[in-house]
Structure 1
Amino acid sequence: MDGTPIQFDGAVVRPRRDEYPDLTRAAVLDAARQLFAERGFFQAKVQEIAKLSRVSQATVYAQCGGKQGLLRSLMDNWTQSPMVRQSEQECLSSDDPALVMRTLTDAYLRIIEEWGDVVQVIIDVAPHDEESRAVLDTAQQRHNLSLAAICRHLEDIGALREEVDAERATQIITYYYGIDGLLRTRKVFGWSFERSNEWLSVQASTAVLASAS
């Protein structure tokens, strides 16, 4: 095959060799994620990532841009995951304030359960590395844009407390949750993520909604 897509039962099928770069990249990302979590970003070596993913060091650099590129790719996978987009759309499509907040806070829980290790690595590394700080800044900007849209929706449907506008609601929810609120709460109180989310949800809802029932 020359790499041209083929037709099979009316569907376009990519030749297998076209899938190799995607599969290789996924394997390298999985290996990097595992080693970053186990050993820390600075301690993990490109050589170890290459060995675990069964590729050459040159491939790690060419496919993913080395450790910094891997960290950014992991952040992209987290902040642009289908779960994030779906949760935002569900929030924006509901006129029930309590349901919007429940959908939002449940999304925080599901995201941290799936991506908490990546969030923690980025937060740990950012103060010590300029490029990693830029990765964290991008993650926070994406979070804030999505949350601001949800809070504007809450304002539009008259759900916010009299003294709270969309901007202030965004600030309050970011104070409680942000990208690492569940990690911080679990660390401070020793609770599970589920219990931490229940507590944070009550605090945030009471602070921003006109009726938090």
Structure 2
Amino acid sequence: MVKEAGKGRRAEYAEQTRQAILEAARELFVEQGYFATKVDEIARTARVAPATVYAVGGGKSGLLRALLLSGTETDDIDGILTRITTADDPHDLIAYLARSTREKFEGWSSLMRQVAAAAPQEPAVRESQEIAHRALRHGLDLGARRLGELGALAVPVERAADILWLNLCNAAYFIRTDDLGWSLDESEQWLTRTLPQQLLTA
């Protein structure tokens, strides 16, 4: 029993250390950018040795990958996907897609902005970016498929999925918020109004 308790405490400490390292990496990536952030700085912020950062995360690229994976595995993901696949009103489903992608963008845009900036120059960052893209695309594909099952689409399911991606991916949000200066409220209202016009029969 004593040995089991010891193992439990060690596992708890290891997880706390991992979370501290991930939080430090996220904070510094957002503040300084991926390339300007050094492993020594992550270690200092997390109050661990640099060797621990490498052991836990495999360096900066491993930490970024772990951060983006964590965003695809949050507790609310299953509920979001269930709501998408069981929706019975096309307009409500589109409004929900606009709301849920807005909320995810709101929570992750600071980090994803740095990922987008670094991805063209660093293959490992591009690979991590694809993790986030695949997860979002999967949800939007499910949304398009559900709209098709409801008999609501004016375009093929594959085209509907493309239209959703063009409007709801991070790059589209960056254009609306950064380039055009729209608020997220304005963006959501515009999406809720115009996506049915692009997708639905009525």
TM range (shorter): over 0.9
Q: Within 5 Å, which residues of 2 pair with 1:81-160?
A: 81-160=74-153
Structure 2: stretches of 5+ with no match in the other structure:
none
Q: Under a length normalisation based on structure 1, what TM-score does the superposition of the two structures give?
A: 0.88
Q: CA-atom RMSD, angstroms?
A: 1.7
Work out the CA distance in 2 between the residues paired with 1:204 and 1:165. 15
**Identity score, percent:** 32
Structure in which a larger fraction of residues adopt helix: 2
* Stretch moving more, 189-198 or 23-32: 189-198
1:175 to 163, 166, 170: 166
Name which of structure 1's ranges 182-191 and 28-37 shifts more when overlaid on structure 2: 182-191
Q: Secondary structure at the match of 2:3?
A: coil
In structure 2, how many angstroms separate the alpha carbons of the residues matched to 1:38 and 1:168? 38
Count of residue correspondences: 201
TM-score of the aligned structures, taking structure 2 as reference length: 0.93
Give the deviation of 1:4 after TM superposition.
5.2
Q: Secondary structure at the match of 2:170?
A: coil
| Distance in 2 (alpha carbons) for counterparts of 1:138 and 1:114 | 17
Pick the aligned partner of 1:68 from 58, 61, 73. Answer: 61
- Give me the whole-angstrom Cα distance separating, in 1, the residues matched to 2:4 and 2:157: 50
Letter in 2 for 1:143: L
Please give the residue correspondences for 1:42-81 in structure 2 after superposition, counting only pairs within 5 Å: 42-81=35-74
**In structure 1, distance between residues paired with 2:137 and 2:196:** 17
Give the letter for the 2:115 counterpart. Answer: I
Give the corresponding residue for 1:196. 187
> 1 or 2 for the larger relative contact order (CA 8 Å, sep ≥6)?
2
Q: Does 1:2 align with 2:35?
A: no
